[in-house]
Amino acid sequence: MLSIFTVSYYAAGGWIGFWALRVLYRLSPFHPLAKVPGPRLAAATQLVEFYYNVLNDGQFIFKTIEWHEKYGPIVRIGPNEVHVNDPSFYNVLYSKDYRFPKSQGHYRFAQQTEGGLGNCNSRVHKSRRAVLDPLFSTQSVLKLEPRIRKYVDLATTRIGRNAENSEKEGFEINSVFRCMTVDIISEYAYSEAIGMLENERENDPFFVGMDNLIGLTWLYSWTWRFQDLLRALPFSLVSKIMPEDVLGVVAFQQQAEDRVVSFLADTEKAKAKFTHTTVFEVLLNGNQEKGYEVPSLNALKEEAWGFLAAGSETTAAALSNGIYEACKEPSLQQKLYEELLAEFPDPDSDPITYKRAVQLPYLTAFIKETLRTPPGVPGRLPRVVPKEGVTVCGQFIPGDTIIGMSSILQQFDPNVYKNPSKFDPDRWIHDKIPEQSFVPFGKGSRGCQGMNLAWAEIYLIYANLWRKYSFKLHENSTLVDGWTDQFIPKRQGKLKVVVIPRGK
């Protein structure tokens, strides 16, 4: 009988031999992607991505940009993955026809398999999106604008109340933006706000946990099986295992999931509380005659906390980015103020509305530039090439290949944007920017569903803030210019500002 040592020896040898042959095949001329240029090491193993994203804190997208400069518009960035830098192909890859389905592996960090971000089943996603889209249409946003303005007013008041103290200590304005966006998306989607602003929960454990999760995004994408195991365990047990600074998000997920359970327990009683049609109500009452399938309990839970997370963090980060850039160049603030003063000479008696704010050219230019540098999701969004394959820039890409593009390359294209690294709102007034070169919310069937809501939030809070206050960086502000890719941009440091009220 063979000893355990002998069996282990042969097993290890077989495993090593298998991977050696696999790497040789990936590098051989027989591989379907053999003719696609790119670094040999990246073609051999996905550990290159692990090195740059996990060990080097979200640097893979910047390495990919370097590879494009060296190899051209199509680069092989993994054993079975290519990355494209061709603006004309963006609307083809991210179209509305679901021709290129999502690639599951890249989105595992989201800890979702059935919710919006993690659901890679095109048929299910299409039918679910069809019933949810009306909730996030421009008409629906305008209808619920009074509810949105309620939280904008709370946030504006909260910022103004800290004006005096901000001279001494600096005011961390991003915390208010985060509270506001969480309250708006929870009120909008579930008709019941979390209460972050009213209860002044700027330092809520949820935000601490979210910061830690964002910093570990790519690690989660490599340890998804462990995450699935944790999610299968009771929350009471997980709370004893997980670090305290991560438990905030776990608890937040649990709260969102509890809402689903409460709704399902008594739907009529739950509906009576609502001021408008909600996500739960629509998901449970979609037209099944048109092929719609009511989501499972797990899918409803994932949608519940997925909407809250996705609908808050990116918008808050964009708002802070604009404040930061305007503090570095005060003349931008003066232009915004003069435009808003002319349109809203007395905002107390003539409230700022979305319909009027969206007509202001310089405010619009400033917001677009805020969303451009950097984009809300700067890195690649991988899709799967259909079986018949696709030709890009004269290069045939076979079916089942993973293919992706990155909005950072679209929105920093030097052929479109003069001096692309400079924050310059005037470019939107003087230059003609092609539609495919501005994609802050993505495009096609998987584009951001809450895009119209985000536009309304940004217009309303910016219009109120720039009309009533000016800002300057406090000496204790530590926010840096550079950022890393953690699916969303992550900057180091805290943005602390001095809030200066304007006269009427």
- Give the range among 8-22, 70-84, 242-256 with minimum mean pLDDT: 242-256
462, two tokens: 């910016």
- Distance in angstroms (rounded) separating the CA atoms of residues 317 and 377: 11
Q: How many whole angstroms from its chain centre is CA 321?
A: 14
More confident residue, 246 or 78: 78
Residue 91: count of CB within 10 angstroms of its CB = 14
Q: What is the pLDDT of residues 263-309, one digit of tens each?
A: 787 777 667 677 788 888 888 887 766 678 888 888 888 888 888 88
Mean pLDDT of all residues in 329-349: 95
CATH superfamily of 122-501: Cytochrome P450 (1.10.630.10)
Mean pLDDT of all residues in 378-388: 96
Q: Which residues contact 265 (CB under 8 A, 6 or more apart)?
A: none
Residue 1 has pLDDT above 70, yes or no: no
More confident residue, 7 or 45: 45
* pLDDT at site 139: 95
53, two tokens: 């994203």
Instruction: Return the percentage of the chain with pLDDT > 70, whole number.
Output: 97
Residues 252, 240 contacting (CB under 8 angstroms):
no
Q: What is the pLDDT of residues 392-402, one digit of tens each?
A: 999 999 999 99
* pLDDT at site 74: 98
DSSP string, 336-363: HHHHHHHH-S-TTTS---HHHHTT-HHH
- Give the range among 27-31, 89-93, 115-119, 407-411 with minimum mean pLDDT: 115-119
Residue 504 has pLDDT above 60, yes or no: no
Q: What is the pLDDT of residues 85-112, one digit of tens each?
A: 999 999 999 999 999 999 988 888 877 7
Residue 14 has pLDDT above 90, yes or no: no
Phi and psi dihedrals of 196, rounded to 5? -65, -45
Mean pLDDT of all residues in 219-238: 78
Mean pLDDT of all residues in 156-184: 94
Instruction: Return the percentage of the chain with pLDDT > 90, whole number.
Output: 62
Q: Which residues contact 180 (CB under 8 A, 6 or more apart)?
A: 151, 152, 154, 155, 196, 197, 316, 457, 461
More confident residue, 285 or 31: 31
pLDDT band at 113 (very low <50, low <70, confident <90, very high): confident
* pLDDT at site 289: 61
Q: Is the pTM of this model over 0.95?
A: no
* pLDDT at site 333: 97
3-state secondary structure of 90: helix
* pLDDT at site 398: 97
- Give the range among 18-32, 361-375, 468-482 with minimum mean pLDDT: 18-32
| Residue showing tokens 């920093």 | 412
Residue 5 has pLDDT above 60, yes or no: yes
- Distance in angstroms (rounded) separating the CA atoms of residues 294 and 283: 6
CA–CA distance from 172 to each of 54, 158, 499 (Å)?
28, 11, 10
Q: Where are the domains of the chain?
A: 122-501
pLDDT band at 447 (very low <50, low <70, confident <90, very high): very high
Q: What is the pLDDT of residues 307-321, one digit of tens each?
A: 888 888 999 999 999
Residues 218, 58 contacting (CB under 8 angstroms):
yes
Mean pLDDT of the chain: 90
3-state secondary structure of 394: coil
* pLDDT at site 252: 73
More confident residue, 167 or 275: 167
| H-type alpha helices, 201-243 | 205-215, 217-222, 224-232, 235-241
Residues 38, 67 contacting (CB under 8 angstroms):
yes
Phi and psi dihedrals of 9, rounded to 5? -60, -50
* pLDDT at site 257: 79
* pLDDT at site 288: 67
Mean pLDDT of all residues in 6-21: 79
- Give the range among 42-51, 213-222, 281-290 with minimum mean pLDDT: 281-290
- 120 a known binding residue? no
Helix (DSSP H) and strand (DSSP E) numbers for the chain: 25, 11
Mean pLDDT of all residues in 435-451: 93
DSSP string, 293-324: -PPPHHHHHHHHHHHHHHTTHHHHHHHHHHHH
* pLDDT at site 379: 95
